[in-house]
Structure 1
Amino acid sequence: MFVDDEPKLLEGLRRTLRSLRRAWHMEFAEGGTQALDCLAGSTFDVVITDMRMRGMNGAELLEEVMKLYPATVRIILSGQCDRQTVLKCVGPAHQFLTKPCAPDTLKTTVARACRLRDQLQGHPERSEGSGKPGRFFAALRMTARTVSKVTSVPSLPSVYAEFVAELESARGSIQRVAEIVSRDVGMTAKILQLVSSGFFGSPRLVSTPAEAVRFLGLDTIRPLTFSTKAFFPFEAKDAERRWLERLIDHSLAAGMMAKAIAEAEMSNDECRITKDPVLAGNAFLAGFLHDVGTLVLAEGRGASGGTGILRGLVAGGSTVGSHSARRLHRTHARAGAYLMALWSLPDPIIKAIAFYHGPSRSPDQTFTPLSALHVAHAVLEAEALDAPTARGSIDLDYLTRIGCADRLDT
């Protein structure tokens, strides 16, 4: 559904998208009230709305959509907006597109946002010991709704406190803020959303969290923190917090190792690899964010669900590499990938997060960030379990397909 309070603009959009009428069922609503009436009578996968509208603005409309129809993808399509206006969109909108927007850009944005959602809800693999398929599929549909409602990913309390103190300090520096954000999965994910989707300027590809922080600047990050609550701490007991700290340490180690593997392969002339200048950076970001789904669902399901999962792991003495932790991460990998797709992160990062436990499901024929993360995670898992080798966790068929199987011992 496309929403704008200017009939002429809606008609122009209808003409522009005429070539897609066989691929999409499209409705065009004049303003927020009409849009909500349409939503009450039909199901829509995506709502794309202008921001500046009389009566109900775009952010207010998407707030209602998020509350009433949580599985719907929410996108702002608007002309130039000042910072205060954009800040109102940061919570309810998954992405921000700037007018004029090419039809191909719209089509790509909608397709990639929905692709993983459809896989999550309609074509999931049956998990280990999942019981009756009906219950499993229902749980996946609930996961999609939960993820779509996520506006931020929780941060470690200690890191969040350090972050806020730096922003409040008269001597606060962008370098120090960048260093703090680079140690936190939740802040990194949110910052990358804002940069990748173009909330504050043209969409930008970055290779590190620090680069994204410097792009936004303190004048944007401060109101994001204190006005829109784009960042918040995870509420957990001491034992749960320690488990989360280990999870973040594991994520950082996975990112660093994936980056090192990617850099080594890029320097190897015999490796079947595309010489992509951002490959190593994407490998790091994929590794650092590969467990973001665990944090999302732990927070999103509340004490009876998410933190209950964490408490079960903590009570059972689970480590990052344990069997119970591996099952949790496999279940949540696709949820994390879906959120990153909604937030418009690059496809190689999304694919790596979605498939690092089973890379053969990807169509890759060459080395990608997925390859680096798969091997890095297997090595770290073997270390956590004190296993003599990581080979048992590595998909050799996949590595053979991409021409890297002979590189395992180098």
Structure 2
Amino acid sequence: MKVLFVDDEPHVLEGIERSLFTLDCDWDVQFASSGAAALKRLEDWSADIVVSDMRMPGMDGAELLTRVKQRWPDTLRVILSGYTEQEAAFRAMHVSHQFLAKPCQGGDLVEALNRLIIMRDLVPSRQLREMLGAIAELPPSPRIYLRLRHLLEQDSSGTGIIASVMEQDPALSSTVLKLANSTFFRRSHPIVSVHAAVMRLGVSLLHNLVLTAECYPPQPGVDVEQLRERSLLASLLVRKLAPSGIDVECCVSAALLAHVSALLPKVVQAAQDEGGAVSPAQIAAYLLGIWGLPLPIVYTVARHQRPLEHEPQRFGAIGVVHAAIALADSSEPDFAYLEQVGMAAQWPSWLQIVEVLRHDQQA
């Protein structure tokens, strides 16, 4: 793995170098003391990951990563930012795949970067990774976005009602989970639910995030509202289908986000043109993975279309999400899997449940 670290403070770069040596990282590492020096280095040295400090004189981290995104979209981009730099972090969010709190412990840094590279196993194609690497956010439903803006402009809106709106839209949900799971905001355990993410970030921060963001249009041919309704229905079905003993909130988020690749028809078409070895589910999982969402969500999204292969002995997270999405999409599930785990007899009653939920959605 080839990693370029960029910081204008020599002692920071020296500290990173010592940490990597102590942790015995077998990486090809380069260092640059400015954005300009980093760009010059990248001209003749192709990095897998660029890790940049946010606040630097001249060209700051956000501007550097913007140029990296434009010139080398396959390169994964990580920002380091101090806790007092929230406004700067928002700028970087639109061009970085992840951002880490500064100072960052060596072990946390290594774990985050290793995970980024592991995600490449989901999408081996460099062409597809270049297309996905240029994406920092997904287009939300205009109707939900405007409703959320209205709520945030009212000082009386609490986190509960804001979360209830955000968790209706896959694009907004992916953004808030990406933000909440960065080490910049996360305190300990990964955050798997939109509600918990909103609680962690708080109304004031979300106000700044949403009101300064752009609601850009979806790609031609994408029915954002239809996707939103299907995804929301699948997430609601998870709560009805899930047995005890599984992480329901993780499954709810996975079901909500499983079809986000439908917002990227050009990427999906490119994958099909390459032979279809990379599925839409893998495309979605890769994007969520490089954004730092919890791995249980990422791998459930990646595997939900093949439950018999990945979860043959029990009706667990993958099976629940698989069944919920099939019901929401009015498609056939893997009945061989449902038979094997003893759940096939439940299908007729689940069909009744989905009709009730559809009726409630339309009411």
Same fold (TM over 0.5): yes
The C-alpha deviation readout for 1:110-146, integer Å capped at 9, x for no partner, is: 122122224412xxxxxxxxxxxxxxxxxx4332112
Counterpart in the other structure of 1:256? 236
Deviation at 1:291, TM superposition (A): 0.4
List per-residue Cα deviations over 1:10-54 (Å, max 9, x = no partner): 122111101566621111111211111111111111111112222
* Correspondence 1:210-359 to 2 at 5 A: 210-227=195-212, 229=213, 232-235=215-218, 243-262=223-242, 264-266=243-245, 279-295=247-263, 297-298=264-265, 301=266, 331-359=279-307
AA aligned opposite 1:184 = D
Q: Is the 8 A contact 1:75 1:96 kept in 2?
A: yes
| Contact 2:192–2:297 (Cα < 8 Å) also in 1 | no
Distance (Å, rounded) in 2 between the aligned partners of 1:108 and 1:368: 27
Greater mean alpha carbon deviation, residues 82-91 or residues 23-32: 82-91
| Aligned mate of 2:168, from 177, 183, 200 | 183
Work out whether residues 197 and 203 of structure 1, in 8 Å CA contact, stay in contact via their aligned partners in 2. no
Equivalent position amino acid for 1:255 in 2: S
Assess if the C-alpha contact under 8 Å between 1:286 and 1:350 holds in 2: yes
Q: Where in structure 1 are there 5+ consecutive unaligned residues?
A: 122-139, 267-275, 310-323
Q: Cα 1:89–1:232, aligned 2, differ >3 Å: closer, same or farther?
A: same
Task: Return the alpha-carbon distance in structure 1 between the equivalents of residues 66 and 121 of structure 2.
Answer: 23
The residue type paired with residue 35 of structure 1 is A
Q: How big is the shift at 1:159?
A: 1.2
The two structures have a TM-score, normalised by structure 2, of: 0.82
User: In the alignment, is residue 18 of structure 1 matched against residue 1 of structure 2?
Assistant: no
- The corresponding residue for 1:375 is 323
Q: Deviations over 1:367-406 (max 9, x none)?
A: 642232123233444xx25x6xx454x546xx85xxxx12
* Mapped contact 2:81–2:184 kept (Cα < 8 A): no
Report the CA distance between 1:180 and its aligned residue: 1.4
User: Structure 2 unaligned runs (5+)?
Assistant: 347-363
Q: What's the CA shift for 1:70?
A: 0.8
| Separation (CA, whole Å) in 2 of partners of 1:343 and 1:104 | 19
Give me the whole-angstrom Cα distance separating, in 2, the residues matched to 1:371 and 1:11.
Answer: 47
Partner of 1:155: 140
Whether 1:406 and 2:347 are equivalent positions in the alignment is no
- What is the match of residue 42 of structure 2? 39
CA distance 1:66–1:363, change in 2 (3 Å): farther
Letter in 2 for 1:250: R
Given that 2:122 and 2:283 are in contact with CA atoms closer than 8 Å, whether structure 1 keeps it comes out as no
User: What residue identity is the alignment partner of 1:105?
Assistant: D
1:116 and 2:96 are equivalent in the alignment? no
- The reply on whether 1:198 has 2:134 as its aligned counterpart is no
Question: 1:318-344, CA deviations, whole angstroms, 9 ceiling, x for partnerless residues?
Answer: xxxxxx9xx99x832111111111111
Q: Match of 1:67? A: 70
The alignment of Structure 1 onto Structure 2 pairs a total of residues equal to 338
Alignment partner, residue 318 of structure 1: none
Which one-letter code corresponds to 1:85 in the other structure?
Answer: A
Percent identity reads 29
RMSD, matched Cα: 2.9
Give the SS at the match of 1:281.
Answer: helix
Q: Say which SS state the counterpart of residue 27 (structure 1) adopts.
A: strand
1:360 Cα shift? 5.0
1:93 maps to: 96
Amino acid in structure 1 at the alignment position of 2:203? L
